[in-house]
Amino acid sequence: MWTTSTLLMWIALIGSVVLVAQHRPVIFPIIALIASGFEALMNFRLVSINVAHVPLGLVFGVALLVAGVIVVARSAAKVTVSAATCVALVGALQTINALHFH
């Protein structure tokens, strides 16, 4: 079933893949791809990661937010800026959700 969290996971994952394919250097797109990939694996219940005293939603959200903002700042191509904006927005929503600001 499509939920908001599943939709956001797909947006971040597809945006990260586009960034890896289109943006150079690839360090920040790879960070975004790793964070969104782990979120996808956890969403499909293929991997279970638990870290004491650290909410993984916050860690992955901040990773997506920072990677997206840095790629937006360093890129001029429309496709890359669009993908990075999607990644950054998903990261911001996840960070806000993890910090319970809603």
Q: Containing H/E element for 47?
A: none
How far is 16 from 84, CA to CA, in rounded Å? 8
Contact 21, 32 (CB under 8 A): no
* Predicted TM-score (pTM) of this structure: 0.91
Domain ranges of the chain: 4-98
Q: What is the DSSP letter of 25?
A: S
How far is 78 from 58, CA to CA, in rounded Å? 28
Q: What is the DSSP letter of 65?
A: H
Each residue of 60-74: pLDDT tens digit? 999 999 999 999 999
pLDDT reading at 24 higher than 60: yes
